[in-house]
């Protein structure tokens, strides 16, 4: 049966129109993927990846050649001196916390220059939560340079703040918007921030939270002067097939300090059994440029189609992208909830689950979320969520294939707009 049979004819017509309209934009995203695939393939070739690297490792994990080559490939593809890719890193938050705690010492200050950091990082820093084990608990202070009204970085303010605060040891930059309203930062904007920092201080460590960003553009922050960067393998660089893990990449010395934080002094990056995950992590990284491009093309389709139906999409379908996140404003509770439920019903896993708005610890409003993913909580797989309050904005992210995103979004529109 043709997939369009169950759709309203007006919707079918609009889809055809949208596909024409976004073709050129999609072609650009495919070109980015081609260059990233080339970069990753080169790294695999240079390091002569072979079956010997796929061995199981146990116990201390000494002399694990697969782990070493995985680290080396991440480092090369990200233009970094070194990298550490580990299943022992449990999430993006853990990767970021490990990097920050690896390089900060009591009396130092961490300064975020992209405004308020991602929710979970606020607990790591010690500005929310009970502070136990946070940076604040270790007498590491925190300051922040807020964004300008238009959501851009305050380059002048950054220079001024850094000049006036000698204690600042690490400068934090968050590339993706996460769940904030501000736009995500293109890598070129991250570069402007790095230049602003360097124009007044060459002794600070520039750290980038790269979650959601990997391979959405042709360069990564570490290629443009960031000293340290971290991310999650259940987002972009795991391509949806890696079941757990995180990475830290950057200057060798800082990656090693992060390794000591993850394990123990004297051990650092030299130990840690990979069990049998290495081939999956290698394959995930190899497939990541393609998966990221599929998700981004899906986001462009989503934005274009929902704009066509009068909803407010951010980014617009025409805008350049630096992560996998698409937001859409529905303007009313009913449509938002129905749309989210439809996304769940068109997921490969848990399709029969009915998401409902519910209170969540730590949030003021009810939250609704749809996630029918193979890997628990994976946001490189198609999922959506948002607070159920005006303007009823859903964060829609991920997608392992363009086809899945197109099917799910189209059927969701069919239900919300045409009630079938």
Ligand X SMILES: *Cc1c(COP(=O)(O)O)cnc(C)c1O
Site string for ligand X, 101-120 (x = CB under 6 A): -----------------x-x
Q: How far is the CB of 177 from ligand X (least distance, A)?
A: 7
Interface of this chain with ligand X, residues 202 to 241, rule: CB under 6 A: 209, 211-212, 232
Backbone angles phi, psi at 249, to 5 degrees: -135, 155
Residue found by looking up tokens 């970085």 in the block:
153
Tell me the three state secondary structure of residue 319. coil
Interface of this chain with ligand X, residues 297 to 336, rule: CB under 6 A: none
Does the footprint of ligand X cover residue 247 (CB under 6 A)?
no
Backbone angles phi, psi at 25, to 5 degrees: -65, -40
Other CB atoms within a 10 A radius of the CB of residue 186 amount to 18
Q: Which of the ranges 89-97, 136-144, 256-264, 402-410 carries the binding residues for ligand X, by CB under 6 A?
A: 89-97
CB 40 within 8 A of CB 285: yes
Task: At 45, list the tokens.
Answer: 């070739």
Q: Which of the ranges 171-179, 281-289, 358-366, 401-409 carries the binding residues for ligand X, by CB under 6 A?
A: 171-179
Q: Judged by CB, which is closer to ligand X: 193, or 416?
A: 193
Q: Which residue in 203, 143, 213 sits closest to 177, CA to CA? A: 213
Q: How far is the CB of 176 from ligand X (least distance, A)?
A: 4
Q: Which residue in 271, 247, 241, 293 sits closest to 25, CA to CA? A: 293
Q: How far is the CB of 232 from ligand X (least distance, A)?
A: 4
Query: Who's near 82: CB < 8 A, 6+ residues apart?
Result: 71, 75, 249, 250, 251, 252, 255, 256
Does the footprint of ligand X cover residue 398 (CB under 6 A)?
no
Does the footprint of ligand X cover residue 8 (CB under 6 A)?
no
Residue found by looking up tokens 């990097």 in the block:
99
Which one of residues 66, 102, 172, 178 is an interface residue with ligand X (CB under 6 A)? 178
Q: Which residue in 333, 330, 298 sits closest to 312, CA to CA? A: 330
Does the footprint of ligand X cover residue 380 (CB under 6 A)?
no
Q: How far is the CB of 323 from ligand X (least distance, A)?
A: 8
Rounded CA separation 298/371 (Å): 16
Tell me the three state secondary structure of residue 335. helix
Q: Judged by CB, which is closer to ligand X: 49, or 400?
A: 400
Position closest to ligand X via CB? 92
**Residues in binding contact with ligand X, number by CB under 6 A:** 12
Q: Judged by CB, which is closer to ligand X: 50, or 376?
A: 376
Q: How far is the CB of 230 from ligand X (least distance, A)?
A: 9
Crossing angle of the two packed helices 9-46 and 65-77, in degrees rounded to 10: 120
Q: Judged by CB, which is closer to ligand X: 232, or 293?
A: 232
Strands 109-112 and 82-86: what pairing? unpaired
Q: Judged by CB, which is closer to ligand X: 73, or 324?
A: 324
Q: Strand 393-397: give its sheet, edge to edge.
A: 312-314, 325-329, 393-397, 383-387, 367-371
Q: How far is the CB of 212 from ligand X (least distance, A)?
A: 5
Question: Which residue ranges make up the site for ligand X (CB under 6 A)?
Answer: 91-93, 118, 120, 174, 176, 178, 209, 211-212, 232
């Amino acid at each position: 049966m043709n997939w369009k049979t169950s759709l309203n004819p007006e919707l079918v017509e609009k889809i055809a129109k949208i596909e024409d309209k976004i073709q050129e934009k999609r072609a650009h995203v495919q070109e980015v993927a081609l260059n990233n695939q080339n970069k990753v393939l080169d790294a695999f070739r240079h390091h002569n990846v072979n079956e010997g690297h796929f061995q199981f490792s146990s116990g201390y994990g000494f002399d694990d050649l697969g782990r070493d080559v995985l680290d080396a490939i991440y480092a090369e593809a990200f233009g970094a001196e070194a990298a550490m890719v580990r299943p022992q890193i449990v999430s993006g938050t853990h990767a970021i916390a490990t990097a920050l705690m690896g390089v900060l010492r009591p009396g130092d200050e961490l300064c975020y220059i992209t405004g308020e950091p991602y929710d979970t990082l606020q607990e790591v820093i010690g500005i929310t939560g009970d502070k136990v084990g946070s940076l604040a608990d270790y007498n590491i202070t925190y300051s922040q340079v807020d964004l300008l009204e238009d959501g851009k970085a305050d380059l002048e303010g950054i220079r001024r703040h850094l000049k006036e605060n000698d204690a600042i040891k690490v400068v934090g930059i968050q590339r993706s918007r996460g769940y904030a309203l501000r736009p995500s930062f293109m890598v070129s904007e991250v570069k402007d921030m790095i230049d602003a920092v360097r124009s007044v201080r060459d002794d600070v460590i520039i750290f980038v939270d790269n979650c959601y960003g990997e391979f959405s553009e042709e360069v990564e922050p570490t290629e443009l002067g960031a000293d340290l960067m971290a991310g999650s393998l259940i987002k972009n660089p795991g391509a949806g097939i890696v079941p757990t893990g995180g990475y830290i990449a950057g200057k060798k010395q800082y990656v090693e300090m992060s390794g000591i934080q993850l394990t123990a002094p004297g051990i650092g990056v030299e130990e840690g059994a990979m069990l049998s995950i290495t081939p999956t992590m290698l394959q995930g990284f190899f497939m990541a440029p393609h998966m990221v491009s599929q998700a981004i093309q899906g986001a462009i389709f989503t934005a274009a189609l929902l704009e066509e139906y009068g909803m407010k999409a951010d980014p617009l379908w025409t805008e350049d992208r630096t992560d996998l996140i698409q937001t859409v404003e529905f303007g009313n509770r009913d449509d938002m909830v129905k749309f989210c439920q439809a996304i769940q019903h068109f997921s490969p896993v848990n399709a029969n689950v009915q998401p409902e708005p519910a209170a969540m610890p730590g949030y003021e409003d009810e939250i609704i979320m749809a996630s029918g993913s193979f890997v628990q909580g994976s946001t490189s797989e198609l999922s959506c969520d948002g607070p159920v309050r005006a303007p009823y904005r859903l964060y829609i992210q991920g997608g392992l294939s363009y086809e899945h995103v197109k099917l799910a979004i189209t059927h969701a529109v069919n239900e919300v707009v045409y009630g079938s």
